[in-house]
Amino acid sequence: MKTLVWVEHDGSSVKDATLAAVTAASKLGEVHLLVAGSGVDAVAKEAAQIAGVGKVHVADNAAFGHNLPENVAPLIADLMGSHDAFLAPATTTGKNIAPRVAALLDVMQISEILSVEGPKTFTRPIYAGNAIATVESSDAKLVLTVRGTAFDKAATSGGSGAIEAVGGGSDAGISSFVGAEIAKQDRPELTSAKVIVSGGRALGSSEKYQEVIVPLADKLGAALGASRAAVDAGYVPNDYQVGQTGKIVAPEVYFAIGISGAIQHLAGMKDSKTIVAINKDEDAPIFQVADFGLVADLFSAVPDLTAKI
Amino acid sequence: MKILVPVKRVLDYNVKPRVKSDGTGVDLANVKMSMNPFDEIGIEEAIRLKEKGVATEVVAISVGPAKAQETLRTALAMGADRAILVQTDDDVEPLALAKIFKAIADAEAPGLVILGKQAIDGDNNQTGQMLAALTGWAQGTFASAVNVEGDHVSVTREVDGGLETVKLKLPAIVTTDLRLNEPRYASLPNIMKAKSKPLDTKTPADYGVDTAPRVKTVKVSEPPVRSAGVKVADVDELVAKLKAMGVHS
């Protein structure tokens, strides 16, 4: 089987989520990559180094500059003439593009696969991860999105993919990119961080989040997260949100501080290797999944922990 | 401008899903069903656009069993003008849904179709994007702000790491994210009024769409259970445990 993997990049380097999709693709067959964008030579060279990669298709065209699905999906649908499966990381970019490709190919997409069970059989979460479905496609071609935390990352070196330019592509003329507000952080990204410190509603304010959560994260070089309740209360921006409606994470260590552990939050972090919970309420559901639970007032315990760790 | 808003009847978001013991799916017998929360946001956004004078009519659509009428009545009580029930007892996949919505869009010629970004049962997150592909229209997914400006709509999208704004030519497809708005509750008088608003009943065959599934569910199982670990007595013990694992500054 020949697979085509969407390379997610920021214009200068390959994003980590791509590497999990490469691993998933390698379980299906030959791995080809697609680097689409404007001025993406450096990305293509980096992508060619990824272990196990056969070919790197490079579509360099101003129309592909901002991943606009109206322009990119027809390109991918064309390339699928000579590939059997299209895989994209289940990021907001992948989720935006892949279903548009699937419909152009008249294929039912399988979203957020967790494992490859056979050439057309996969597992995926439904009901916010409260159930796992094993599903089998009957379509001639596959379109899949891949949950990044469910697959190991392919090595970023050792590969020697052949770079091949893809011609064509044009601006469909129905959409344009206006601008982006991407929070600049000197921290690891939530979805690829080894350690995450998350705060919940119990913090009570944005100031307390800054005062209590941020120093611990700083000390551990951790990414910052939050529960939906904390986001809804306005303590932090939405892109901090971990959970069913936010980001799905699986770091080595996840600190849940002042987070009760609603189903919706657990759905986003329960695959973390080690979960540490600090909460005043000893009956909080978070303790049912925590490896280390500390029943304590977070306003004294967390600064103490920050000082001693 | 007309706005179409598909809505799905799903297990209420407050109910914990239980996997059936025979592994065929999630038990939906005798549990509370409600409108998919993301679709509720879609209805609210359409009504707000009507209140602003941007939209002239809001049409709610549901593909589902006879009981999906209740979901449509909720949409009508919130303020939608009329509804279309495409009645089927089959579990219709996103691709077939998109084909049905495409046929309805061809007939209704809306300026916008606003869909939830995903339904909280299947979590597919596909239908809006697929409808955009089939109609050839532009798509603004995971919207946190929607502004119609002349013959364009500007959509602010929730993306990894922040926000992104795109400008789309109308007609266009929008899918909602949670922060787009807070849906209103239907008032009692509006619930009464909704009972007399028009609701058409159709079938997928009326639109020439084959709803036979492309993806077979082999089995549905419980996720692996994570067991509780230990409670530590104090911060010092926690620090010791963490250091033993190599977690320190």
Q: Which residues of chain B have pLDDT under 50?
A: none
Question: Are A99 and B222 inside 8 Å of each other by CB?
Answer: no
- For residue A11, give the DSSP letter: S
Name the residue among B11, B124, B239 with its Cβ closest to that of A308: B239
Q: What is the pLDDT of residue A183?
A: 73
How is chain A split among helix, strand and coil, in percent rounded to 5? 35, 30, 35
Q: Inform me whether the C-beta atom of residue A139 falls under 8 Å from chain B C-beta atoms.
A: yes
Are the beta carbons of A107 and A142 closer than 8 angstroms? yes
How many Cβ atoms sit within 10 Å of the Cβ of residue B68?
A: 22
Q: In what order do the strands lie in the sheet with A175-182?
A: A175-182, B162-169, B152-159, B138-149, B172-176, B112-116, B2-6, B57-64, B82-87, B199-202
Q: Chain A closest CA to B197's CA: distance in Å?
A: 32
Contacts of A253 in chain B (CB under 8 A): 242, 245, 247
Which three-class secondary structure string do you get for B37-51?
A: HHHHHHHHHHHHHHH
Q: Is the pLDDT of residue A285 over 80?
A: yes
Are the beta carbons of B175 and B168 closer than 8 angstroms? no
- Cα Rg of chain B, angstroms: 21
Are the beta carbons of A212 and A303 closer than 8 angstroms? yes
Q: Is the pLDDT of residue A207 over 80?
A: yes
Q: Inform me whether the C-beta atom of residue A194 falls under 8 Å from chain B C-beta atoms.
A: no
Name the residue among B123, B214, B219 with its Cβ closest to that of A108: B214
Q: Chain A closest CA to B121's CA: distance in Å?
A: 5
Question: Are A132 and B220 inside 8 Å of each other by CB?
Answer: yes
Name the residue among B141, B217, B234 with its Cβ closest to that of A133: B217
Q: What is the pLDDT of residue B138?
A: 98
- Restricting to A residues 208-267, those with a Cβ less than 8 Å away from any Cβ of B are 219-221, 237-239, 244-245, 247, 252-253, 263
Residues recorded for chain B: 249
More confident residue, A38 or A191: A38
Q: Inform me whether the C-beta atom of residue B21 falls under 8 Å from chain A C-beta atoms.
A: no
Q: What is the pLDDT of residue B179?
A: 86
Question: Are B121 and A126 inside 8 Å of each other by CB?
Answer: yes
Q: How far is the C-alpha of A200 from the C-alpha of A213, rounded, in Å?
A: 10
Segment (H or E) for A303: helix A298-308
CA torsion, ordered A265, A270, A276, A282, to nearest 10 deg: 60
How far is it between the farthest Cα atoms of chain B? Answer: 69
Which three-class secondary structure string do you get for chain B?
A: CEEEEECCEEECCCCCCCECCCCCCECCCCCCEEECHHHHHHHHHHHHHHHCCCCCEEEEEEEECCCHHHHHHHHHHHCCCEEEEEECCCCCCHHHHHHHHHHHHHHHCCCEEEEECCCCCCCCCCHHHHHHHHHCCEEEEEEEEEEEECCEEEEEEEECCEEEEEEEECCEEEEECHHHCCCCCCCHHHHHHHCCCCEEEECHHHHCCCCCCCEEEEEEECCCCCCCCEEECCHHHHHHHHHHCCCCC
Q: What is the pLDDT of residue B224?
A: 84
Q: Chain B closest CA to A55's CA: distance in Å?
A: 27
Are the beta carbons of A83 and A4 closer than 8 angstroms? yes
The letter for the amino acid at A227 is S
Closest CA to A123 of B11, B118, B226, B221: B221
Q: How far is the C-alpha of B58 from the C-alpha of B2, rounded, in Å?
A: 6
Q: Inform me whether the C-beta atom of residue B28 falls under 8 Å from chain A C-beta atoms.
A: no
Name the residue among B17, B158, B214 with its Cβ closest to that of A127: B17
pLDDT tens-digit series, residues A91-114: 999 999 999 999 999 999 999 999
Burial code (b: 16+ CB inside 10 Å, e: under 16) for B53-62 equals ebbeebbbbb
Q: In what order do the strands lie in the sheet with A131-137?
A: A115-118, A121-126, A131-137, B215-221
Are the beta carbons of B132 and A63 closer than 8 angstroms? no
Q: What is the pLDDT of residue A182?
A: 82
Count of alpha carbons within 13 angstroms of residue B229, beta-carbon side: 16
Residue A188, preceding peptide bond in cis (omega within 30° of 0):
no
Which of A18, A95, A236 to mutate: most B Cβ within 10 Å? A95
Question: Are A238 and B26 inside 8 Å of each other by CB?
Answer: no
Which of B97, B130, B217, B225 to mutate: most A Cβ within 10 Å? B130
ipTM, 2 dp: 0.95
pLDDT tens-digit series, residues B182-233: 999 999 999 999 999 999 999 999 999 999 999 999 999 998 888 888 999 9
Q: What is the pLDDT of residue B16?
A: 87
> pLDDT grade, residue A264 (50/70/90)?
confident
Closest CA to B2 of B104, B139, B146: B104
Question: Are B220 and A195 inside 8 Å of each other by CB?
Answer: no
Q: What is the mean pLDDT of residues A172-179?
A: 97
Which of B226, B230, B237 to mutate: most A Cβ within 10 Å? B226
Question: Are B164 and A180 inside 8 Å of each other by CB?
Answer: yes
Q: Inform me whether the C-beta atom of residue B38 falls under 8 Å from chain A C-beta atoms.
A: no
Q: How far is the C-alpha of A309 from the C-alpha of A40, rounded, in Å?
A: 42
CB burial of residue B163 (10 Å; 0-12, 13-18, 19+): buried
Q: Chain B closest CA to A56's CA: distance in Å?
A: 25
Contacts of B12 in chain A (CB under 8 A): none
Q: How far is the C-alpha of A6 from the C-alpha of A22, rounded, in Å?
A: 9
Q: Inform me whether the C-beta atom of residue B164 falls under 8 Å from chain A C-beta atoms.
A: yes
Phi first, then psi: give them for residue A18, nearest 5 degrees: -60, -35
Are the beta carbons of B55 and A302 closer than 8 angstroms? no
Helix A92-105, helix B127-135: angle, nearest 10: 50
Question: Are B142 and A96 inside 8 Å of each other by CB?
Answer: yes
Query: Measured between alpha carbons, how far is residue A36 from residues A56, A164, A261, B147, B168 in Å?
Result: 10, 12, 40, 29, 21
> pLDDT grade, residue A129 (50/70/90)?
confident
**Residue A66, helix vs strand vs coil:** coil
Q: Which residue has the tokens 């009508």?
A: B76
> pLDDT grade, residue A128 (50/70/90)?
confident
Q: What is the mean pLDDT of residues A263-282?
A: 92
Q: Inform me whether the C-beta atom of residue A184 falls under 8 Å from chain B C-beta atoms.
A: no
Contacts of B126 in chain A (CB under 8 A): 99, 102, 109, 111
- In chain A, what percentage of residues exceed pLDDT 70? 99
Closest CA to A196 of A225, A174, A219, A176: A225
Phi first, then psi: give them for residue A173, nearest 5 degrees: 75, 15
Question: Are B243 and A309 inside 8 Å of each other by CB?
Answer: yes
Q: What is the pLDDT of residue A134?
A: 98
Look up the pTM and report it: 0.92
Q: Chain A closest CA to B175's CA: distance in Å?
A: 10
Segment (H or E) for A134: strand A131-137
Name the residue among B162, B166, B234 with its Cβ closest to that of A177: B166
Q: What is the mean pLDDT of residues A146-172?
A: 93
The letter for the amino acid at B151 is D
Q: What is the pLDDT of residue A188?
A: 85
Q: Which residue has the tokens 């970019």?
A: A93
Name the residue among A101, A174, A291 with its Cβ closest to that of B137: A174
When the pLDDT of each residue in chain A is averaged and rounded to a whole number, the result is 95
